[in-house]
Chain A
Amino acid sequence: MFRRILVALDGSEDARAAFVFVSDWARHFDAKVWFIQLADESSRRRCEIVTDVQRRGRQMANQFTVSGATRGARNQRLVSGISEAAVTFGADLIVVGLDRHRLAQSGLSRNVREQLTAATNIPVLIAPKPTVVRVPATTRRERAIPLGPVRSLPVMAGAAMARV
């Protein structure tokens, strides 16, 4: 069973769904979860999800930057950053909650999931689409985790890792 999960998020609706999905998973299977949040270079924006994590009394653990002159270089940095973080954390599962269209708009490849699968031997889970994430009524209040602004943000540069 997967007990240590690393989650890559970008602040999109897909990321929101992934956050709820993984939170549910962690509660159900008693797993530990770390998040990598991809954000733009604005420090205010960078706190989009991490702020909510901090509001819950948890601390940011690490930060790293995704940068590169070309799309290929940025893709490589993104993929290697996620896979290296997974190794550092000792993750036995990587969950991807990235909006493919936003990745493309930001100059990053839509095939990040493919590259990520090739870069690591750790199982990779593509989170469900926002429309199918179910929140059981009995725990709805607990699982309604606020994630900050809903509107789309460009996925670039900064990334923050938070442990919850």
Chain B
Amino acid sequence: MFDNVVVGAADSAAGARAVRRGAELAGASGGTVHIVTAFRGKPVEALLADLRLLAAETSVRVQTHPVRSDPVEAITRVAAEEGADLIVVGSRGNRGSRRLSSVPQGVMDRVECAVLVV
């Protein structure tokens, strides 16, 4: 069903939620989860290592992609390169206050594949 699931994740609860869901869906399909973290200056290797461990709780192949760019550009670029079947992104807030940030909005406007907001 999903050979390549791309997850856009930052250092947040929403990012962790997205990684878990993406790993779950990719794992159930025998696919690969690609974790994308955009950065400008500060390195994100430590964050990606943590997210990799989080994804590895599910039996799934994991690839990490640190991309020096803005989040929307980073996610859409990796999605295009990897031929993503699904992109998973987090939303801000919890019940009653959840809202879409500019990142999921921007991703949904620019990609052709399915986008899951968790």
Q: Which residues of A contact B (CB under 8 A)?
A: 1, 21, 24-25, 28-29, 113-114, 117-118, 120-121, 123-129, 131-132
Contact = CB atoms under 8 A, between A and B. Distances in A.
B95 A121 contact: yes
B99 A29 contact: no
Contacts of A28: 1, 29
24 contacts: A1-B25, A21-B114, A25-B1, A28-B29, A114-B99, A117-B117, A118-B98, A118-B99, A118-B100, A120-B98, A123-B116, A123-B118, A124-B116, A125-B114, A125-B116, A126-B114, A126-B115, A126-B116, A126-B117, A127-B114, A128-B114, A129-B112, A129-B113, A132-B113
A158 B15 CA distance: 37
B113 A121 contact: no
Contact of A132 (B28, B99, B108, B112): B112
A123 B22 CA distance: 12
Interface residues of B, number: 22
A111 to B, nearest CB: 9
Interface in B92-118: 94-95, 97-100, 105, 108, 112-118
Contacts of A24: 1
A123 B28 CA distance: 18
Contacts of B114: 21, 125-128
A24 B85 CA distance: 13
B105 to A, nearest CB: 7
A39 B66 CA distance: 44
Contacts of A114: 99-100, 105
Interface in B18-60: 21, 24-25, 28-29
Q: Which 7 pairs show the lowest CB-CB distances between chains A and B?
A: A121-B95, A28-B1, A129-B112, A128-B114, A123-B118, A125-B116, A126-B115
Nearest to A21: B114
Interface string B69-110: 000000000000000000000010011011110000100100
Contacts of A117: 91, 98-100, 117
Contacts of B116: 123-126
A49 to B, nearest CB: 19
A123 B29 CA distance: 19
Interface centre among B21, B24, B95, B112 (most CB of A within 10 A): B112
Nearest to A27: B1
A106 B90 CA distance: 30
